[in-house]
Chains A and B, each alone.
Chain A
Amino acid sequence: MDSAHTDPKLLVDLGLDGALAPAESEALRGRIANDEALRREERELGKLHEVLAAGRVVARPGFTTAVMAALPESAPWADRKLLGWRSVLGTLAAVLALALGAFGIAGARGVDGVGFAAARAVADFAVSTALSGAGLLAASWRGVGMAVAAALDLPATVIFGIGVVAVNALLIALLRRPRRRRAALAAATRRRR
């Protein structure tokens, strides 16, 4: 903080609160020594710190023990990590088991190409899911495009009218904002009085 341009009372306040650098604190001590008003300010603020500190409360005896007893037995983050690995490993194991099962059944029956056909069916299913998702997305964007196109087809006067209303609404919103801030400020000033 540039102490040369700061209210000396603010410096006294910061000094009492231990928020000044040693050099600033030293300079302030010199100023206080030569200024009765600053000495009084320091005395009064010192007392204020004391009376405020007197209002602090302390936790009841045994509070730490109660908190420690209420903690979960196993660390929650360890469970979360374990769950993450477990779910990945579980999924992989399930997929592997299904694949092995399909190929195993095909091999046991001695049917040529059944295992391959099963794998292809799964792949086809994945592809069709992706395609239907893409189709839905395209349809929704097409809907937005159609709405914009319909708006552009409106007569120029209607579009101009909508534009004028929008600009006015924006202006009103911007004008109302400082008034609201002034009202809040006035209310705060009244409260302070």
Chain B
Amino acid sequence: MAAGTRPSAVLEPKGVPPVPDEELVARVLAGDQGSFGVLVARYQDRLVSFLFRMLRDLDTAHDLAQEVFLRVYQALDRFDPQFKFSTWAFRVAHNLGVDELRRRKVRWVPLQRQDAEDDSPWERELPSLEPSPYHDLRNDQRGAAIQQAIDALPGDYRELIVMRHYAELSYEEIAQLKRMPLGTVKNKLFRGRQMLKEKLAAYLGD
């Protein structure tokens, strides 16, 4: 599978090549509102996953994902086809996520930090995540370790890891979204994964 793609969504027939996003947008603008449903079905999981990783709250992730689709629909006639639809939708999602974090005054902080005076790490208490699909995972030591490892990454690495592995954006889409050279995206993702690999060494062995 090409980087950043996923199996076609619910409303798309199997065995038929998926209709490009830009074509769907053109159809919606021509009056076929149902084509917007295809776009929603195509991006809903990735948007919810991305916002959930950003906000750690599944209800808010759903609310904001819905808001993203509404905003995109409202401004669909201003969509510039020289950019990707996905980049546009995720930029809206990112901005809404950042606004929500600002509103809540919650910052992405590592769960475990080294105290300056003391070498022993201390645990940072998180707000309750329940109900959450992570509930089972969080009971699992490995799931918690993965979450801690991602949270402990420096901000820009964490953001790229979330964009690649949870929003499932391609390298090119991330480069466009972050206005970064493609080579920088590749290198930062590589370094981010190396950091994760070190932190999670105990869980990645045979």
Contacts and interface: CB of A to CB of B under 8 A. Distances in A.
B133 interface: yes
A160 interface: no
Contacts of A18: 1-3
Which size bracket describes the interface of B in this complex? 35 or more
B29 interface: yes
Interface in A1-50: 1, 7, 9-10, 13-14, 17-19, 43-45, 47-49
Interface stretch (A118-126, A133-141, A163-171, A185-193): A185-193
Contact of B77 (A10, A43, A58, A80): A80
B193 interface: yes
A37 B51 CA distance: 36
A58 B48 contact: yes
Interface string B145-187: 0110000001000000100111010010000000000010011
Interface stretch (B13-21, B37-45, B83-91, B98-106): B37-45
B204 A64 contact: no
Interface of A: 1, 7, 9-10, 13-14, 17-19, 43-45, 47-49, 51-60, 63-64, 66-68, 70-72, 75-77, 80, 188, 191-193
8 contacts: A14-B190, A17-B189, A48-B200, A55-B147, A59-B65, A64-B40, A70-B70, A192-B195
Which 8 A-B pairs rank lowest in CB-CB distance, beginning with the nearest? A77-B77, A59-B44, A52-B165, A18-B3, A47-B204, A59-B48, A58-B45, A44-B204
